[in-house]
Structure 1
């Protein structure tokens, strides 16, 4: 990237990390503006306890944390480190938590991080303060530790200054100048700073900055209790700030760290204490720094303090010295808010980031800005992932508070959210409720998972259904399996409204525009559909999309979600030769899938649905009864599929027409979980689940969607380079020998005793009577073809690579 005028708002650990890495990557015109003093600014960095528990079930958060540790370990001044590698212990008070720690240790192996499950006695060997009688075991991560963010910030800022970065403290942002949708300057009480690019790193003040340009930053500041104990007798001889491991007691929603001869203790047990941004004082307006609220002792000196003494008996004699309610940012999904807003060009965001992930985020933001894409997949953190429904305070405040309340819960991948529901409902919702649908949320839509109306099918398929137990049986029903089997034998009616974003791209330049963004030649005949890929500048897969050409200059596009739609919009030329319309909120979709699908459609309208009139991949604008639809005939999960798109006002009528005529063919309404099982059984890989923007088409078997004879497309040069170097991982189907084992995803795969990759999707193949999983594996493991094993809750299960597998992608 050429030199640009970059203004960073906020000189906390995130703002300084971003300036540091931008400077390391050669940017020389950087200005950092801070409303408080430099560098104890009064934001969360100033009071954060600095605990770095790196490992989580999120690959991206674990990687960002690991990169933060690497960065902080490199930064020291006058012999004072910015990171103390003392390790961490997560203890379990319940058997359920202990099992979850076993699962977490396996995920650590998947993400390349050492983690060990210890007995109570082994936990005491790591930290003698712990009472072993109150725990069943613990998880030890030796590379965790304590960050000293203010020390790191000082060193990073000095480096950035040596490269030309200018820092301004006590400088309040009063406005942002935007011209024709592009940022131009940051207005402050000290004057105006010209900018080609602005990065908002203002922490919990971020929403106020976003309002200046009309961009919603959906975070909720919440006060969190943290106390300091008096000196413990057991730590009386300690001279260093921290020498013992961090401790996390998630069953009691508490954490502990040494502070010289005492302990710092944080608690999530208390009631949520949300704080409005408008209520947060500026630096110097109160006795405490802005990020600290008065301690509320009534929230602590009941159960939390008793629990703390139960785990660490020495606290009983020590007592409490003081406490604070420190403010942190929470988001609706617990993920950071990163990237360039699609609403305003040049307005970048790096918000809702804890010290744990700070330097990793700074590195990723610098790569993203300079190279056009980060090396790490950040789709789950993208600021553009929230559609308009999720930008309302009514949605994100409630959901963020719920996220706070559940932060230390044991999280299941199918656990539904409780708040901010019914934000988006398809026109079939009343029919689905009448059929006893169990709903979860998908892109804000209420999406049926299975239907109680199909309970009678369980007896019909009883001898075939794989019964789940334990972890796999949570948020599950045997009805899911019955719907799966019934679709294979007869047909299922599936609500696909939430499955994809629906866009119409039109205009004289539409074809040229899409050719530049996609890897295939999409100059297809009118009335045909094809699947293709979009790559980013580093040749990672941005999305697999379906393109339907409805007219010479009009294309109907199905992409994965809001992030992928924003990618398309980002590249929209300034001229008016191309128009993008988001039709998602005004349209709906239904699919008839299964062995009887074509018979059903022929019975409905023999003249329109005569097989001789349709070929695979064909799309037509037709009427079904009175309902105008865009109909596509193709195969899906190895069987017939008819997919229909219509407007919301016509959706209910379309459901009734299809459902009524299908009854004679035993058509059922079926849920999203059955559809997912069908996908896995039929060897269909899915974007965002089995591969993401870190992977290229050659690694995941999608090179048939790449036309290298095209003169150019985004990512082509990098793709040729990656092709020549060869794959880093290969997406590979595996078979589990034990059919009763149903893994859930992210479990490590071993080649003998060497970790060789991890599971992405998992299900059950009824045609073979075996478990089937997809895994990203090292190429050398795939080439050897040895017997492998998958670790699931600390146990190893034999698996082998599926031979001669034909992979379908949808």
Structure 2
């Protein structure tokens, strides 16, 4: 093939010719954007792609991610006819087996989630599993599941086919060229420097795989991933192994199998991985492998011999040890980098690149062309990480654990253990001394619950009630009946200032934030489709100064969204001030009595109404007190300078002694907000859900003169009678012993209609409470709720539940606005 001449400029330059880079090129070209140049330092499919196992499993924990992979399977099935290049795609199905009762429970939950997402699935007995996969022994198994839509592909062939599809539509693919620098000017990318010359570009896409982190560093972009050794073997031919053999996953043994040329590919994800490449990835490593490491592989081989005893007498044709890149949370990285305009990333696929590449490539191409995602991509959005997540020492230690997460038991509320503690609030040591059990969010150590004195402060995971149930019930009760203090210092805080701050924010926010100084407004940030990009609280501190309080995980993403939507010539500045302020939430019917002992400020409803913020004295400290609640009770969020936090906390605990004050954590907070029906970003509120569907129309001002982003879509939605066929509803389970965790299927009159987005135990209502997304064939209004019966599928067992559009707990919010 003749060498492609290097153009001087292109609209899109993609760096990396693995399966993801080729998919992005293919989809850009398919959308009619054919001024695409893909640069590969070696040959197409080198790097990670060529030694990938090629498994394609459809189901993911988030429906949005499942939809991307389902698109991949359809693309791979059709691509060969389009390009006349084989892809090796075979829809052979997959069997996943369980060795333990807990794993079988998890598979039953998986089956329910699959049905809710429209994915074909069957639950199998051990004998039925063996019928599907005759080569294995099943004496130790509890059962399994069969997913006929899963399959396998040849990664190299698939990559070449995508590349040909891109070329057929005008894209250029240049191999043997190395990018040596990324060019920038005025905060945006302008092109790349290569060892063969410069290419100017409007958009640069980093699909460099293991090299993506170092490519990002060239232009100040953080791409938090780290390589780890990943191994599998290919056996000699085995009796009973044929090309139609399904993929087999045995997660309790950390292993998988697939057929290859009459033998078996056997690999897996060991619980403690072996990081690699701390000093950088060698340039000429494109088709290289690492030395065999049978010691590291031993745990996988031992489990493989249990499942397939015949392997003991079967030769090994090849040992592959090919490093792959892994991210801190085992989800890949997608989207425009917040540090540099028009620089996009598609990397860190955590051994899921073949399955994900089709859908991820399309999603990234659409994001590039339309300027924002066209679906809910929060789970993989690169903006879920901050610059500190790119610390190489931290990444090294975290990746030891994340590789093994593929087959680790996905316990409800499972916390990662490595590279912690990380970010700590001013109260971390004091809460730890009180038996706090911490979880991690955006690196913050957050007290999830407090273990009673004399007990061990740690989680004991299960699919039923976990060991913290009773302790959280006490925290919940104190908040409802007396008073509790929550350390919510991990809240992200963004300060927006400037002459145009009000005008700009009012266009970006759906609610009207042009309120009097001291006003507090709950609002959504909407995309052009009318879906939620975030929800947050806006505090007007001065005429030209606003403090935005948003979720712990949203600081980078929200700042990026807001900043990108500021008018270019506006006099407005956004500063992340999260680290400067703690937040202590004092909540409960006795919160006013406690706080009034410490301040001269009048806290009555008349002087300090709900939805307002004032600067108050509190003991020796001066703090902002925001009368707002996420638990559905009277209370204040105290925004405290970090240096005063310990003193304020001690004053609150001392003043609250006679009122039964206790410390409470995030598990209680979640249960309390679910009882009240309060929605949460990334759970009930997503880019694909509008305020109308979420039941949050009250937080939208259709009449404000400035209008707002997403208004046109919402106006159209209001006029569409079918818009409310998708709706967020609340369910309260009738059986008080049932435990929900999220992800369960919701049934209406016995038919799957949606899924639980978040769930907890409502100790005041005495039952599990869930917020669910349902998709009906008619508008979901009060009459619909009354006319139908609802159930929740919990690991194959159905439980009746009462549906609500308005919460049964204090539906008029009288407790929140209580006086006296």
Q: TM-score, normalised by structure 2?
A: 0.92
Instruction: Report what 1:249 is aligned to.
Output: 250
Q: What are the Cα deviations for residues 647-696 of structure 1, in whole angstroms up to 9, with x where unaligned?
A: 11111111111111111211111111111111111221212222211111
**What is the alpha-carbon distance in structure 1 between the residues aligned to residue 222 and residue 198 of structure 2?**
23
Determine the structure 1 residue equivalent to 2:419: 420
2:449 touches 2:664 (CA, 8 Å); kept in 1? Answer: yes
User: Aligned residue for 1:381?
Assistant: 380
1:675 aligned to which of 669, 676, 681: 669
Whether 1:157 aligns to 2:163 is yes
Deviation at 1:473, TM superposition (A): 2.5
In structure 2, how many angstroms separate the alpha carbons of the residues matched to 1:625 and 1:686? 33
Q: Give ranges in structure 2 of 5+ residues lacking alignment.
A: 1-8
- Cα RMSD after superposing both structures: 2.3
Aligned to 2:482: 490
Q: Counterparts in 2 of 1:162-561, with a 5 A limit? A: 162-235=168-241, 238=242, 242-269=243-270, 272-276=273-277, 278-283=279-284, 289-290=286-287, 292-300=289-297, 302-353=298-349, 354-452=353-451, 471-474=463-466, 476-498=468-490, 500-560=491-551, 561=554
Q: Distance in 2 between matches of 1:553 and 1:501?
A: 20
C-alpha distance in structure 2 between counterparts of 1:83 and 1:720, whole Å? 44
Q: How far 1:303 sits from its partner (Å)? A: 4.5
CA contact (8 A) 1:4 1:29 kept: yes
Residue 610 of structure 1, CA deviation? 4.5
Alpha-carbon distance in structure 1 between the residues aligned to 2:419 and 2:443: 9
CA distances 1:166-223 after superposition (whole Å, capped 9, x unpaired): 1111010010111111111110011111111111000011011001101121101111
| Structure 1 unaligned spans of 5+ | 457-467
* 2:698 is the alignment partner of 1:694: no
2:26 pairs with 1:32: no
Structure 2 distance, partners of 1:484, 1:736, is 18
TM-score, length basis structure 1 = 0.93
- 1:213-243 residue CA offsets vs partner (Å, 9 max, x unmatched): 01121101111111110111223xx4xxx31
* DSSP 3-state at the match of 2:521: strand
**How far is 1:126 from its partner?**
1.0
In structure 2, what is the equivalent of residue 127 of structure 1?
Answer: 133
Is the 1:233–1:314 Cα contact (8 Å) retained in structure 2? no
Is the alpha carbon distance of 1:36 and 1:736 closer, same or farther for their aligned partners in structure 2, counting shifts above 3 Å? Answer: same
1:92 paired to 2:94: no
How far the C-alpha of 1:332 sits from its partner, in A, is 0.6
Q: Relative to structure 1, is the Cα distance of residues 36 and 789 closer, same or farther in structure 2, using a 3 angstrom cutoff?
A: same
1:716 aligns with 2:711: yes
| Deviation at residue 448 of structure 1 after TM alignment | 0.9
Change (3 A) 1:249 1:635: closer
Whether contact under 8 Å (2:683, 2:757) holds in the other structure is yes
Deviation at 1:364, TM superposition (A): 0.6
Describe the shift of the 1:298–1:521 C-alpha distance in structure 2 as closer, same or farther (beyond 3 A): closer
Measured against aligned partners, the alpha-carbon deviations of 1:721-750 in whole angstroms (never above 9, x if no partner) come to 333331351001122111110211110011
Q: Deviations over 1:297-339 (max 9, x none)?
A: 3333x44334223212332332211201011111110111111
Does the 8 Å contact 1:593/1:636 carry over to 2? no
Match of 2:610 in 1: 616
SS of corresponding position for 1:589: strand
Describe the superposition over 1:18-57 as per-residue Cα deviations: whole angstroms up to 9, x where unpaired: 11111122213211111012x24x2111111101122232
Q: Secondary structure at the match of 2:397?
A: helix
Alpha-carbon deviations, 1:59-108, whole Å to 9, x = none? Answer: 34322222211111111154845420000011111222111111111121
Q: Aligned residue for 2:628? A: 634
- Give the deviation of 1:612 after TM superposition: 3.5
**Structure 1 residues 140-151: aligned runs within 5 Å:** 140-151=146-157
Query: Compared with structure 1, are the counterparts of its residues 635 and 358 closer, same or farther at alpha carbon in structure 2 (3 Å cutoff)?
Result: closer
1:459 is matched with none
Matched-pair contact (CA < 8 Å) for 2:745–2:793: yes
Matched length:
784
Secondary structure of the structure 2 residue equivalent to 1:406: helix
Query: Shift of residue 454 of structure 1?
Result: 7.2
Distance 2:573 2:795 in 1: 50
Cα deviation digits, residues 375-430 of structure 1 (max 9, x gap): 32111211121123322122222112211233311022312221121221111122
In structure 2, relative to structure 1, the CA distance for the partners of 1:299 and 1:419 (3 Å cut) is closer
Distance 1:175 1:10 in 2: 14
Q: Which of 582, 599, 602 does residue 576 from structure 2 map onto? A: 582
Instruction: Find the counterpart in structure 1 of residue 120 from structure 2.
Output: 114
* Alpha-carbon displacement from aligned partner over 1:707-727 (angstroms, at most 9, x marks no partner): 222443222223333333313
Report the CA distance between 1:636 and its aligned residue: 4.3
Q: Aligned in 2, Cα 1:452/1:771: closer, same or farther, shift over 3 Å?
A: closer
Q: Which residue of 2 aligns with 1:460?
A: none
Query: Which of residues 585, 595, 599 is equivalent to 2:593?
Result: 599
1:651 is aligned to 645
Query: 2:419 & 2:270 partners in 1: Cα distance?
Result: 22
